[in-house]
Chain A
Amino acid sequence: MALNRDDKSPLFAPGVAGTLRLIVYLALACVLMVLDHRGGWLANVRYGLSLVVEPVYRIAGLPSQGFQAATVAFADRQRLTEQNQRLREDLLLANAKLNRMASVAEQNTRLKELLDTQHSLSLNVQLARLIGVDLGTFRHRIVLNVGARDKVQPGQVVIDARGVMGQIVDVMPTTSVAMLITDPNHAIPVTIERTGLRTIAYGSRAGDLLTLPNIPVSADVQVGDKLVTSGLGGRFPPGFPVGEIRDVAQTASGTFLSAQAKPAADLDRSEDVLLLHDLAESAGPPPPAPNVGPPSDMKPDPNAPPAPTLPAVTSPTATPLPARAATAGSPAGSTP
């Protein structure tokens, strides 16, 4: 074998690797880690290098894709027929529900228009597929096949048919990485649908559950309660299902209740996901109500150019708009 090359490394002496070099490399690694943790310029380096990384992701995703294709190819006809039948029924049911909802939604829009709010029920979404890549075992991250070229931004919300999955944390030119809501570093503001109690659901360290560690002792929380996003914090739009309470117990200190919830989304089964395009409206005080009174073109306007009259079409909208834009842009809107 390779014994002939070994003359210079004696059996019981340190020899080959110098301790000094080890120290240098370890220090270098530590510096890299600190720089990266602080989130400095390394993000740009990464974005550049992602040109190399992305093809690797695509290739590494091939086996799971192939596996899936094989499952479909070798699935027996019986099962496929059954599945097809079930999907048809589901579709029928969903369509029936949708038809009923459509009229309600229309009515809702009309009423909302009357109230002059900008909440809308329509979703502006983008379809994305998962790439089967393992980013470390206890990292709750997924890789999606859309990126900066598809106008994806960090912070966009990822949902599937059943609920919220997570949010985009890292965008590369044609792929992006999303953090799931079960990540221990993730928190999502929720309300309990039955009682309206607001709280925060954190990812948990063990397994695929959410924990709600600080519910007041006096609060009414039961097993089976549904959690929906509350829309506070301005990241997740309100009203999306998040999970279902599995058990409630007092914390060790006795000052809070702590609950465990199961995520509503199929975190480990979804193949296609949706990216919400419009971020939630920033929480904060609502915009001031538009002036009700005499039309604005009748009062003297100090900023108005000396032109005698504005065209009649633009003048009613001209006054409320600056007020709203000023509120939306103010920093006070970022905290609930």
Chain B
Amino acid sequence: MNRVRVRQLWFAATLLISLFLMLIPLPGPLTPFKPYWPALILLYWCLQSGDRVTLGLAFCLGVAADLFDGVLLGEQALRLTAMVFIALRFRSRLRFFPMWQQSLAVLGFLVNDRILLLLVRVFGGDPLPPAEYWISPLVGAALWPFVFLILDDLRARLRIHDA
């Protein structure tokens, strides 16, 4: 009982932390290198416990992220829902990929996400973004193994500690 509770708390806490990480600024020149944290964390949970992540959750997280960002409401909701849908569809296969292949898959997800964002912004009347716009997915994919291992390790520790 208590163990389930702790796991749920941990789940919610990681999602919240991802939102905070999204808001915390990096020093000026590093700004384009910032990965899209909510997507990374959500992908991790998709792969690790797919029954907990649903499209509805992705949608809610996206709306919350939009509220924090203060831009178009529903933009990140759309992006995260689409990403989670694809990730859940290929979940069983993704889980057995070696780490470098998983990283490539994550790169694909993040690039797809950027393309969606580009579509939304261009439809909204914004001009095309500069070239640095495409750096962030690469950074996200490069960080993926570390995110995955760290979160996995923390999860294992929590469970051991709790049992």
Residues in chain A within 8 A of chain B (CB atoms): 1-2, 5-6, 9-12, 14, 16-17, 21-22, 25-26, 28-33, 35-37, 42, 46, 49, 52-53, 56-57, 59-60, 63-64, 132-139, 141, 170, 177, 184-185, 205-207, 268
Q: Do A56 and B77 contact each other (CB < 8 Å), given the known contacts A17-B55, A22-B85, A64-B25?
A: no
Does B136 touch A at the CB level, under 8 Å? yes
Q: Do A25 and B130 contact each other (CB < 8 Å), given the known contacts A12-B92, A37-B124?
A: no
In the A-B complex, the 10 residue pairs with the closest CB atoms: A32-B74, A29-B78, A60-B23, A134-B25, A33-B74, A36-B73, A29-B74, A17-B88, A29-B77, A205-B127
Closest chain B residue, CB of each to CB of A29 = B78
In B50-89, the 8 Å CB interface with A consists of 50-51, 54-56, 58-59, 62-63, 67-75, 77-78, 81-82, 84-85, 88-89
- Identify B92's interface contact among A9, A132, A134, CB under 8 A: A9
Specify which chain B residues have a CB less than 8 angstroms from the CB of A31 in the assembled complex.
74
Number of A-B residue pairs, CB cutoff 8 Å, is 135
Residue contacts A-B, CB under 8 angstroms, 19 given: A9-B50, A9-B91, A11-B93, A16-B50, A17-B85, A21-B56, A22-B55, A25-B56, A26-B82, A29-B74, A32-B77, A33-B78, A33-B120, A36-B74, A46-B70, A56-B20, A56-B68, A206-B130, A268-B28
Whether the Cβ atoms of B25 and A132 lie closer than 8 Å is yes
A21 to B85, CA, bound (A): 9
Residues in chain B within 8 A of chain A (CB atoms): 19-20, 22-26, 28, 31-32, 34, 48-51, 54-56, 58-59, 62-63, 67-75, 77-78, 81-82, 84-85, 88-89, 91-93, 120, 124-130, 133, 136
Whether the Cβ atoms of B91 and A36 lie closer than 8 Å is no
Whether the Cβ atoms of B48 and A11 lie closer than 8 Å is no
Closest chain B residue, CB of each to CB of A43 = B73
Specify which chain B residues have a CB less than 8 angstroms from the CB of A29 in the assembled complex.
59, 62, 74-75, 77-78, 81
Whether the Cβ atoms of A32 and B88 lie closer than 8 Å is no
Q: Do A33 and B75 contact each other (CB < 8 Å), given the known contacts A22-B85, A205-B128?
A: yes
A60 to chain B, nearest CB (A): 4
